[in-house]
Structure 1
Amino acid sequence: MRTEMLIGGKWTPGSGGTFATRNPATGEILAEVPEGSAADVDAAVGAAVAAFESAEWAGLAPASRARLLLRVADLIEENAAELARLETIDQGQPFGISSGISIPNAVEHFRYYAGWATKITGITAPLSAPDVDYRTRREPVGVCGLITPWNFPLMIAVWKIAPALATGNTVVIKPAEQTPLSTLRLAELIEQAGVPAGVVNVVTGGPEVGRALVAHPAVAKISFTGSTEVGREIAAEAGRALKKVSLELGGKAPSIIAADADIDAAVAGNLMGGLLNSGQVCAAYTRFYVDARRADEFSEKLAAAARSMTIGNGLDAATQLGPLVTPEQVDRVDAYVRIGKAEGAQLLTGGTRGDGELARGNFYRPTVFGGVTQDMRIAREEIFGPVLSVLPYDDPDQLVELANDTDYGLAAVIWSRDVRVANRLAQQVRAGTVYINMPPFLDAAAAWGGMKASGLGREMGWEAIEAFTEVKSIWTNLA
């Protein structure tokens, strides 16, 4: 596969040096990738501007744009095994996750937004002014800067690319420097599908590339998925320039286990929701509010289930929990575990790095803490690793207050056999998405995004069409 940057339809090593991307399960170098510069970003944005204004793209009929997106979906599906393996060796997620979730979700998104390409309509409205016809149309915003994270590199890139192209925009993508390979392979497939040169550009590199993309005056919109800290910087810069911006940021999802909950189902669902991709999920279930009468039962079963999970290389079919993405992420998780113990939380299982053969990679054993209180840092701060905290509660009337006592508001889950209780809680919890009696799930048709420090705007569904378009009003004098 190509490992250069794609700018204006040409694969280029750029104007700087290179950096290594490594397999987090083994530490081996997979490829040397160009370290982009401000000059590379400027070239990519220039190519995107030219493509946006070209007859080849701007003049393309919506039905033709839809066919291109459908062709991309077909190519992803045809190359699914290769893409899934690439995602596993570069990011670490178990092959069952990359092949069963990441790649099918990417295919689904391109097909879903191919359907929208021919259905983006405006409105007509009666005005009080006489002899005037009024209508609106939705138009693309222009060049979009897409900055993607390292936890689900391909899937989240597609969440942004598919609606951006369906609405007629052009894009410059900056994949996370830890995991650039699947995005570069996707760019090859997009090129192979016949998408015109310059419509999709990829510039690889570190934070300086992202800053240059955000600051570029010809970029009309930034769509970013990543940490809240970086999201605040982007929002400030975009605000000064009055750019459109979408931000999907951090989370600290509460899981509410009512007294009447099916404990076995809650344990299984929370284990998947909390440890999917080794806990490197922004919507991971990480703080479990359990009725005090059932807290011991829940904690013991959760710890036993976590302890029994198979940890290893994502290419091994038996692996349930892969490595963390980098050694720095392992250090971060281990630091939080030490903080939890120092603050008095009860370590029920885990809390150690991988040993033996696992010591070659970035492994950390799934960790469960019991007896956690609301003021502890492990209950309040996003860890982004396989660390779960059980917080017993005595008074159900305090549940909403406890769940909402956080800066974040991305996702939440409620476990209860009483549909009235569950839906009442779902209305009161401040989160962009609330699940009832189920692990986290995503669909191209369902809006996704957060409240509070978890972000601005929404991805997926019709909301993504709105995010990548402007509304223009047209008035016609009929007198």
Structure 2
Amino acid sequence: MTIQRTITPVDQSVYVERELANGAAIQRALEQARSAQAGWRQIPLEERIAVIGRFVDAVITDKAEIGNEITWQMGRPISQSGGELGGFAERARYMMDVAGEALADVRFDDKPGFTRFIRKVPMGVIFVIAPWNYPYLTAVNSVVPALIAGNAVILKHSAQTPLVAERFAKGFQAAGLPDGVFQFLHTSHEDALGIIRSGAVAHVNFTGSVAGGHEIARAAGETFISTTLELGGKDPAYVRPDANLQHAIENLGDGAFFNSGQCCCGIERLYVHEQVYDAFIDGLASFAAGYRLGDPTKPETNIGPMAKARSADFVRDQVDEAVGKGARPLVDTNAFPMDERGSAYVAPQVLVGVDHGMRVMREESFGPVVGVMKVSSDEEAVALMNDSPYGLTAAIWTSDVAAAERIGDQIETGTVFMNRCDYLDPALAWTGVKDTGRGVSLSRFAYDQLTRLKSFHLREKV
């Protein structure tokens, strides 16, 4: 028997212990999922959607308890953690609303005597591997549309947030989802790859690191199953001289430091036009210095620990390397006494004098640090934003909508924002380019990832 232990970043104690599934348990789950999916796909779409609606209602009923669990599992301040369920419900309900249109048959009526159409049919069993940083939002993106489309789902949630998978199971049970249609497994890394290699699932939806994505892709490559991969990011923003500067400072500061910077689409590098550069960095440094780093279970805390102490030290190493190469930190970390090497608590930091030869401007930080560079033109900003192996989102701060569209069209990214950042609109395709991965979640197009096309060509008379 192998035990999985979740170490809380709040105080480094063991918060959750769970037994990992063995080979027999994994095989039973796969067999039950295949059997249950055969019946679930026959249930009318309207009834499947109704079950999902009851599931959402059941989960958000426990908002206070769930918020506390999020804080203890991954460190987000208690004043913020429960708010994740608002986005959880918004995304689920949007995917419910568009399902009828997205899953409708595509019909062709131009040939008399023939009935011809394309049907989107469920793939079978979907294996979802979800991360800890937004544990409900990232899981709902794939679990809900997969089930609505008539698939069965097996969820492997992060070892940092195992209670989320159990909350999903409780919600589906309350909603009356047939047994076996949704299951979760606490498994080892190797056993998860073994599930993929086995070919017993039809599709894998993975959100995580680039290295993890490569492992998933290699395992899937041994079969003919498909994958959706949302991987790393180093999301940029550009502040033009015509931007509303105070709005840009506040929103980009939040985009860089909220959730201790542990956001897939968090802002990690900034390019600011020379005409507003000095005012911007003064404002951003002041904004960062105003955070209250501390125990996330206390209501006054607005930035808590990172999920793991080693991740905090990784960020510190990036900052130290940049400073050693000439960068200048604008936030005095002495004002944040909990920030010390070896601790999961790390202060927000703004670096100037940076360049793309520094790791902090090239590697994903996934922490509360942002580098700021001065630029003299839109063209320079675009070139720097594209000088990255990643491409999830990019944000442009300007009062000129035409300029934002023109610049955005040149940026190698999945989403372009104007005057906002770090947000997922469920109506828009969530996707990325380069090492950020492949595939789509959210929007009506997510259903194309979770179904396969089946053509019907019926001669009416012979």
Bucket of the pairwise TM-score, normalised by the shorter protein: over 0.9
Distance 2:383 2:182 in 1: 45
Residue 7 of structure 2 corresponds to which residue in structure 1?
A: 22
Q: What SS does the aligned partner of 1:443 have?
A: coil
TM superposition shift of 1:361: 5.8
Q: What SS does the aligned partner of 2:291 have?
A: coil
Alignment of 1:266-305 (within 5 A): 266-305=248-287
> 1:1-34 deviations in whole A, cap 9, x for unaligned?
xxxxxxxxxxxxxxx3212212211222222112
Q: What SS does the aligned partner of 1:409 have?
A: coil
Alignment of 1:295-374 (within 5 A): 295-350=277-332, 355-356=337-338, 362-374=344-356
1:21 alignment partner AA: T
TM-score by length of 1: 0.91
Q: How many residues align?
A: 460
Taking structure 1 as reference, are residues 368 and 458 closer, same or farther at Cα in structure 2, changes over 3 Å only? same
Taking structure 1 as reference, are residues 118 and 124 closer, same or farther at Cα in structure 2, changes over 3 Å only? closer
TM superposition shift of 1:354: 6.1
> 1:64-91 deviations in whole A, cap 9, x for unaligned?
2111111101111211111121112111
Residue 70 of structure 2 corresponds to which residue in structure 1?
A: 87
CA-atom RMSD in angstroms:
2.1
Residue 255 of structure 1 corresponds to which residue in structure 2?
A: 237
Alignment of 1:138-149 (within 5 A): 138-149=120-131
TM superposition shift of 1:397: 2.3
Distance 2:355 2:339 in 1: 36
Q: What SS does the aligned partner of 2:43 have?
A: coil
Q: What SS does the aligned partner of 2:222 have?
A: helix
Q: Is the 8 A contact 2:338 2:346 kept in 1?
A: no
1:153 alignment partner AA: P
> 1:250-285 deviations in whole A, cap 9, x for unaligned?
111111011222221111011111112100011111
Distance 1:439 1:415 in 2: 10
Q: List alignment gaps of at least 5 residues for structure 2.
A: none
Q: What SS does the aligned partner of 1:349 have?
A: coil
Q: List alignment gaps of at least 5 residues for structure 1.
A: 1-15
Distance 1:473 1:31 in 2: 48
TM-score by length of 2: 0.94
2:369 alignment partner AA: V
Of the three residues 377, 399, 410, the one matched with 2:359 is 377
Residue 31 of structure 1 corresponds to which residue in structure 2?
A: 16
Distance 2:140 2:104 in 1: 23
Alignment of 1:43-442 (within 5 A): 43-53=28-38, 55=39, 57-100=40-83, 102-119=84-101, 120-126=103-109, 131-350=113-332, 355-356=337-338, 362-442=344-424
Q: Is the 8 A contact 1:349 1:367 kept in 2?
A: yes
2:441 alignment partner AA: E
TM superposition shift of 1:433: 0.9
Q: Is the 8 A contact 1:353 1:359 kept in 2?
A: no
Q: Give aligned-pair identity as a percent.
A: 32
Q: What SS does the aligned partner of 1:84 have?
A: helix
Residue 451 of structure 2 corresponds to which residue in structure 1?
A: 469
Q: What SS does the aligned partner of 1:240 have?
A: coil
Taking structure 1 as reference, are residues 337 and 38 closer, same or farther at Cα in structure 2, changes over 3 Å only? farther
Q: Is the 8 A contact 2:99 2:444 kept in 1?
A: no
Taking structure 1 as reference, are residues 335 and 352 closer, same or farther at Cα in structure 2, changes over 3 Å only? farther
